[in-house]
Amino acid sequence: MTATADRAASALERYEAVIGIEIHCQLRTVSKMFCSCSTQYDGAPPNTHTCPTCLGLPGALPVMNKAAVEHVIATGLAIEGQIPARTQWERKNYFYPDLPKGYQISQYAIPLAAHGRLPIETSAGPFVVDITRAHLEEDTAKLAHGEAPSANGYRTTLVDFNRSGAPLMEIVTEPCIRTAEQARRYAEELQLLLRAIGVSDADMERGQMRVEANVSLRPRGTEPFGTRVEVKNMNSFRAVERAIAYEVDRQAAALDAGEPLTMETRGWDDGRQATYHMRSKETSEDYRYFPEPDLPPLRVDQAWIDGIRARVPELPAARRARYAATGITPYDAAVIVADPGMTLAFEAISAAGPDLPAKEVANFVTGPHARLAKAAGLNGRGTAGASDPESIAAILAAIASGRVGRPIGRDLLDRHLADGTPAADLLATVASTISDEGALLAHIDAVIAANPRAAADFRAGKPVVGFFVGQVMRATGGAADASRVTELVRQRLGTEA
């Protein structure tokens, strides 16, 4: 345990943490929220994906993106939330250089989804996170601050409008989270869910999923909330957990010392592993929300909701339960479902080999397959190399039935993964060794000759066939059909009796 984690643990004996999480995620759509500019601006030169609408030029009119609305409704359904029959767009007014209109089109009074929940698993057991709302809005432009002052002595800041107007979903939880681990697990589970339903790539490092944590403390056993601090700039799940643990520790030390806490926004510095003051937040800003006059209210009828519900695929929790029911451990099920590449492989191999023991498939997927995918830098983004599920299933079936021994089978899998050689070709090379009965009998006779006492035991009726089969399999490097070896061993020992 690190010193910070240690102190946080002792702080938690005296204080209870109250945590609420706000997550912004970029939605996976072809075009932006209110114009037809493409959202594929990643890596594009600055200001090449713009139009009068997303530049915020006066007089340009917004047209809403139906796919983005459907993504938020799908998310709302996946978190068991309520979808109102009528909602509206509202202007959130504030000044900032990344927002040239002077307002952001968002939702306020009536979000597209409300009162949802997301069950999670933690080291202390299951926990349910209550979700206040999920709403739709537009993203801002991106500012690039210059390092050195320019010739006139000013520091330059450049504005890139490629991101301006991209569809953004904000998901806000109740202040119901009590530990840093619950917060991390919630963010992880939400990422899985968003990816499973295909609404967001939700990559934290690429800013597609931005997590903010609101943290306050209260003495254990008391009700009223303490002063809260908002923490930003965490770009990994680990950073979310660390930043909250750090904040709990920092706030406990301040409270113990009798220092008042202030409402502030803090950033997470991953290098220093500490939060730092960004700006104070003494009064809550007044955004003067009002209904967007350029867009009609949004009506969501039951038929539309039902259509979207019908397209929501199996959710991660249901998938984990289904996998665990096939006989693999809940741990393996969680590992596989947490990784899209492993999930794809598990599904494809199971489909190609419906009679395969699930444990055999799971071991392959979390073992050799995962190692190869990691080495290839796939990071859960696809299946490994030139392999095909039918071949994998065929080799696994040969292992499971004992047709090839485990060491040989593993070797065949590696060879298949390396260059995609079809299983039939690989198994044929092994089959040629075993089908040579003369060679096999030589191995068997040698093993019998080397173990006279066991041979005598067999003749005395003791159950030692397995011992001989094991020895023969070892002698052939696993390249023998175990059931054929069993027959031959019985024959040889019998005729010699």
H or E stretch covering 159? strand 155-160
Q: What is the DSSP letter of 308?
A: H
- CA separation for the pair 459, 493 (Å, rounded): 7
**Contact call for residue 54 and Zn ion (CB under 5 A):** yes
Q: In whole angstroms, what separates CA 366 from the centre of its chain?
A: 15
CB 47 to ligand ADP: min, Å: 30
Q: Which does 5 bind (CB under 5 to 8 A by kind): Zn ion, ligand ADP, none?
A: none
CB 413 to ligand ADP: min, Å: 47
Burial of 357 (0-12, 13-18, 19+ CB in 10 A): middle
Q: Which does 51 bind (CB under 5 to 8 A by kind): Zn ion, ligand ADP, none?
A: Zn ion
Q: Are 110 and 151 in contact (CB under 8 A)?
A: no
CB 72 to Zn ion: min, Å: 20
With CA atoms as reference, report the closest residue to 234 among 263, 267, 262, 278. 267
Site for Zn ion in 65-104 (CB under 5 A): none
With CA atoms as reference, report the closest residue to 69 among 299, 230, 271. 299
Q: Decide whether 31 or 173 has the Cβ nearer to ligand ADP.
A: 173
Q: Which does 18 bind (CB under 5 to 8 A by kind): ligand ADP, Zn ion, none?
A: ligand ADP
* Residue 488: both structure tokens together: 């031959």
Indicate which single residue of 51, 67, 263, 321 sits in contact with Zn ion (rule: CB under 5 A).
51
The span of 51-59, 82-90, 242-250, 483-491 binding Zn ion (CB under 5 A) equals: 51-59
CB 372 to ligand ADP: min, Å: 40
- CA separation for the pair 108, 104 (Å, rounded): 11
- Residues engaged in binding ligand ADP (CB under 6 A): 18-22, 172-175, 214-216, 225, 228, 284
Pairing of strands 229-234, 264-269: parallel
- CA separation for the pair 469, 466 (Å, rounded): 5
CB 51 to Zn ion: min, Å: 3
* Residue 233: both structure tokens together: 């700039």
Q: Are 305 and 332 in contact (CB under 8 A)?
A: no
Residue nearest to ligand ADP (CB): 20
Q: Decide whether 285 or 355 has the Cβ nearer to ligand ADP.
A: 285
The span of 34-42, 75-83, 353-361, 489-497 binding Zn ion (CB under 5 A) equals: 34-42
In the three-class reduction of DSSP (H, G, I as helix; E, B as strand; rest coil), residue 150 is classed as coil
CB 224 to ligand ADP: min, Å: 9
- CA separation for the pair 101, 88 (Å, rounded): 19
Q: Decide whether 22 or 201 has the Cβ nearer to ligand ADP.
A: 22
CB 54 to Zn ion: min, Å: 3
Give per-residue burial for 239-272: e unless 16+ CB within 10 Å, then b.
bbbbbbbbbbbbbbeebeeeeeeeebbbbbeeee
Q: Decide whether 16 or 98 has the Cβ nearer to ligand ADP.
A: 16
**Contact call for residue 35 and Zn ion (CB under 5 A):** yes
**Contact call for residue 37 and Zn ion (CB under 5 A):** yes
**Contact call for residue 141 and Zn ion (CB under 5 A):** no
Q: Decide whether 141 or 172 has the Cβ nearer to Zn ion.
A: 141
Q: Which long-range contacts (CB under 8 A, 24 or more apart) does 286-292 make?
A: 287/92, 287/93, 287/94, 288/91, 288/93, 289/90, 289/91, 289/92, 289/93, 289/106, 289/108, 289/109, 290/90, 290/91, 291/88, 291/89, 291/90, 291/91, 292/62, 292/88, 292/89, 292/90, 292/91, 292/105
CB 74 to ligand ADP: min, Å: 22
The DSSP bridge partners found for residue 37 are none
**Contact call for residue 64 and Zn ion (CB under 5 A):** no
CB 165 to Zn ion: min, Å: 6
H or E stretch covering 138? strand 125-138
Q: Decide whether 19 or 399 has the Cβ nearer to ligand ADP.
A: 19
CB 86 to ligand ADP: min, Å: 22
- CA separation for the pair 200, 70 (Å, rounded): 12
Q: Which does 214 bind (CB under 5 to 8 A by kind): Zn ion, ligand ADP, none?
A: ligand ADP
Q: Decide whether 167 or 226 has the Cβ nearer to Zn ion.
A: 167
Q: Which does 111 bind (CB under 5 to 8 A by kind): ligand ADP, Zn ion, none?
A: none
Q: Decide whether 213 or 365 has the Cβ nearer to ligand ADP.
A: 213
- CA separation for the pair 269, 341 (Å, rounded): 31
Q: Which does 22 bind (CB under 5 to 8 A by kind): ligand ADP, Zn ion, none?
A: ligand ADP
Q: Decide whether 54 or 397 has the Cβ nearer to Zn ion.
A: 54
Q: Which does 100 bind (CB under 5 to 8 A by kind): ligand ADP, Zn ion, none?
A: none
